[in-house]
Structure 1
Amino acid sequence: MDYPALLLLLVGTAHLTVGCFVFGRNPKSAVNRSFLVMAVLFAIWAFLGAAVYLPELGTDPVVVGRWAHAVALFLWAGFVSLVLVYPEGDTRTPLLLRVLVWVVSGIIATMAVFTPDLIQEAQVEKSQLRAVYGPLLPAYFGCISLSLCWIIGESLYRRKHSRGKRRVQIEYLLTGLALAGLSPLPSNMVAPLFGIHSLVWVGPCCTLIFTAMVAHAVVHYRLMGIRLVVGRGVAHVLALLIAALVFFGLLWLMNALLAGTGTTKTSIAMLATALLFQPLRNRVQNAVLRYFHRPPYDYQSTVRDASRALTATLDLNAAVDYLLRTVCATLRVERGLLLLHDRAAGGFRFKGVHSGWAAQEEEEPSPGGLTRISPLTIFLEEVQEPVVREELAVRLPGERGRAIERDMKHFGADVAVPLLSGNVLWAILLVGPKISGDVFTTQDIDLLSTLGAEAASAVVNAQLHEDAMQADRLATLGGLAAGIAHEVKNPLVAVRTFAELLPEKHEDVEFREQFSQVVVQEVDRIDRLIGQLLHYARPQPPRLEPVGLNELIQETLQLLSYEAARCSVQVETEFAEPLPRTMADASQLRQVVLNIALNAIQAMPEGGVLRITTRLLQGRTAAPYLLPAEERIEIVFANTGPHIPEAHLARLFEPFFSTRSEGTGLGLSICKRIVTEHHGEIRAATTEEGLTAFIIHLPAVCPAENDPALCLLEEEAGGLVAAGWARG
């Protein structure tokens, strides 16, 4: 038997095996049925090719060649049908058009088989099939070319409009079809046109690339929804078989190369090959195990890194994002999702999701949340440990177990992990199935439990920090209550005065015009004041934008005008002009200015001076946590209030440390966090004149003369990073 015939028989058998396996997993699926048709056509094409090289069968080369070309034409129709319904069975192509593809292919194939219009003569000489083509060849090639264009266009369209798992599956199908469909073209279509017929057997063999791609995607990416778990015992057997095949192949090669060279050389070669078998087997075994089973992750390193990252941030969104990314990357799961305890509603609301696929899933509607009395929530509070969905039938048989399973299935979760702090359920981590289809091992569950404990502490700390910031905002506004009332009362007095005079001077045109202007101005003044208060009091999601610090300070000082007048404090400002902008969240910086300035005014109840200056500093800073900008903006708040001892200056930014009996000790610590997250620094000092000063440095990343749209910024977990700016 010639080696081309043997290869083609093996290829056909492989196609039938994979096709039947895929079809057997879901016979009702249109995708699986289309794939079976493709596999059968591949196998028939390979078997017909093998028949050409088996003269003992007595087959007519003309008949075999015609049938082989007809099957190859049907292959392209099968390609089209598979692509149109892949990957989930849906299609946007009308049924009539899909049927038309098969009808046209059938007409041309019938003419190719029963007439000499495609192959007029054929013969086998020295294991080479030589054919003389007829006038049907252009139509044959044209049909294949149109099918190829349709396949590529439809695949690219579906890839463009897909995300996540769906996109990965389409990419694998597209790659497999491209390799299997385009590889035979040079050997089976182009070469025969130039009289080269010795490579026609290569075409059917190239289709094995498609089957190999499908098998790989089934093992690693659950192609067509097939979940295949290869046990370690099976993997060891496969490794042994592969090593044995390689070993016997080497023996055959040695025998062929050393035949007739003497017994000694042959014996030495055989002995060397035998000695190489054990290392070869070990290497092949390790490679097979790595292929079917992902190498174990470093448990200790993963937990250590997660602990450092989660404890280093007080940003809730950053902590949630890091947790989900770590779980998806380490365990290679389809997605991770977090439900956070909603203290207002009493349940658990959707907080964040991350996809484990290379391309993120399309934005989907929020999956909702869970009530406090849902079966899954109650069970997690009871057991206080991870729950695996596949174990519920054994662990908790009955209706309650099925109810918990329905809750987990709603979120597409295979594991639910409670995030507990002090026996209180703060959040629920829902982990989807592994991309490879593997089960969750004991080590996986232990890792999720440990990460859940670390994340619970981070979530609690972040929420407490948010509460502290909100409390500090409200406390600051409470201290400004008298000033706010005064600022609102003044314009109201003007409006009331004009309103009382209006009946008497209604006919006075000048009075009415003045009245209209005054009322509009004073109402706008109240509206701006209330807008500033709401913007300050309500915590907003960080919004990064170019901020002019001179303008921001001036606007914030308007809220303190009454408080400064009441305490007889003179506010002096000295702003550098022009001053570059900084990329920041304006509301957060406004909170910093308001806290520091209000503290200074309240520290001088008998009167004094608050001097606020800004200037531009050149040169890079040496502080490791600061942005390495070439320019920095310095803001100095200096006041003539009581002297603060040197020992207290370093502790002013510690939480709950205060030099005033009525202070909470949170304001300055929050200011320090905000400034640090903007990659700046803040410190307290005593000036040469003996004034108490708070000095802030912020990176100047956006020149004032530039368009704000040119300022670039990136976000990192736990902070803000200015990426730079471009001059116009």
Structure 2
Amino acid sequence: MTVFAALALAAVSTNLFLGVVVLQRHRRLVNRIFFAFCCCLATWSLSVYVLTEPGAGRATGVVWSRIMVSAAAVAPSLFLHLVLLNFGEVKRRIVLPAYVGSAVLVAMTLGGLTVGGVRPLPLAGNAVGWYGTAAPLAPIVPLFAATAAYVAVSVLFRNVRYAAGIRRGQATYLLVAITPALAIGLHDLLGLTRDHYLGTEIAFMPLFPLASIVWTTLGGYAILRHRLMDLDAALVRGIGEAVLFALIITPTALILVAAEKAYFGRTVPEFSALAITVCTAATLAFPLLRAALRSKVGAVLVRGASYRQVLVEFSKEATRILELDRLIDRVNRTLVEALRVARAGVYVTELSGACRLGGAVGDAAPALPERLGVEHPLRAFSERSNGPLVREEIELAAECEPGQREAAEAMRGAGIEVAIPLTTPERFEGLVVLGPKTSGAMFSEEDIEVLTILANQLSTAMSNARLYADLKRSQELIQRSDRLSAIGTMAAGLAHEIRNPLVSIRTFTQLLPERVDDEEFRSKFFDLTLSEVDRICALVSELLAFARPAPAQLQRVDLNDSIDRICLLLESQARNRGVRLNKHLHHDLAHVTVDEDQIKQVAMNIILNAIQACSEGGCVEVATYPGGENDRFVCIEVSDDGRGIEPGVVKRIFDPFFTTRREGTGLGLSIAHQIISRHGGYIDVRSQPGQGASFVVYLPVDAGAEDTEEAVEGSAEEATVHG
């Protein structure tokens, strides 16, 4: 078997295989036309196989030469019909004349009007094949083929220029695929008129099987897959090979044969075939290596680098952003900037199962729906699918899963081109939706891969944000519980504190009718009653202020005033236990930026613990003063002369639910530690068994409002503890 015969046989197999595969996928008209086109190309290649296989007789050569030209007459019409069908531009006034022209040419060819006979075709090893010779009407065939190809190529050019997305990529693929097939097909038809290339003694050889293989590879991929997700890399692999082969191999082969004859006085077919094969292999290997280098170096350093940078930056921020709204806004802006889409949005699953629009960026119409109900086609199908949904891919697909078409229609109505589910092992978190690219380009495979990775990160980040919100609510509940516990303790003490002045007021009130004329009694009664009522009002006001704190607000605060008010509330508690409560407040203490209610809760917990740690006759000292290096902190120190804290206990006093008292909750010091840490400060504990304990709270002076707010919202740092 000669090299040309082997190549022709490979082209026959490739065309028939691809045609059968496409026809089996679906029996639509476009599939049937593609199958017929593949059969036509296979017939053309089979004719070349018979003509280049030694041993065939002249009569056989005539028959197969006419079959080859007949296939060449039908192929342009089939390709034109295929292009018009694929791009929705079928017109009877174009298709019908094309098929009529093909039928007329086939009849003329079989009647001997385009192919009159055959001539010997030199092959390797002195073998001889056959090739047709032109009859008077032979030029009509290449002219007809060129005309039909021109119309088809015009449609492809128009779609490359004006279409968007998959249509543009498909047109580009088909246009480049048909170029070598058209050029080499015309080459083989013109071979009917001459047995040597113009101006040379190089014998003509049919090359269409090679162009047929290139066509089936590129064109078949475009039709079969519908979705050209990696067009750039495919162009480097497939188009680069075809173009390089057409522009390099053909003249190189001619030069090699001419040089062989010039140096050796004759041509050796086996050597020529080997040299051409080696050059072909080298040419095909070059674009493959170039594509690999481009994908690893060029694309990685340019486009790939930008994608990786997007992923890296988002990964860093996703671990820090715990507020869902900020997270969604950051994702949307990242997608719009990186992928250059008209808009991006994120849907978040609610407890009911419906999805609400958590945020969107971009102003493209139509507007995204605010909610996707549980039964909404896009919401329902996205939860069932584990991969991205590309609207154009679904609409062009021959077969769809249940609900997929409805999801695509919903996407079209909302102006959504791509939707990616956000899922975690625990639940369906929501959806990322994207509008069309501003350039009109399609979403590439690399785009979808990056979106999938980013969606996985976003799913985890959204889950973390939800857990953080739950944790924050739990901490607020615990903090409120601790506050209520402190209020209950203070209320018991305040009851005694309020009852004593009420007894005095009641006694004076009972005596007033009998001594109403006694001016001195009335004066004392008035002064005593007024002072006692003022004291009761002050105590109740402080208790209400502590029980119903204002919303969290950072402001410049005078700690002396806050500590003085807390001590007022706890004086009755200390007095009931027989403990002295002394204050030593620095006269020129710097103000600090804090949430006053939270700091009052810290002071309340620590002072109350100190009172409860003292025995009757004990003393609690509360002091404020500048502290730390260069007086960078304001300190609140609470000391008692109680029984002290064991060294093993000191290490655990800030652990949640750890307590040494039977009636304690173990939350007070844990909450105090969290609050002070979030304010950028720390708590220093000093204690020796039997010698009391001292708690020093350090709050930074020089932190501005923004820095302090960021610290309060951030994670807590470890407190410094000294045994």
Taking structure 2 as the reference length, what is the TM-score of the superposition? 0.46
Larger helix proportion of the pair = 2
Taking structure 1 as the reference length, what is the TM-score of the superposition? 0.45
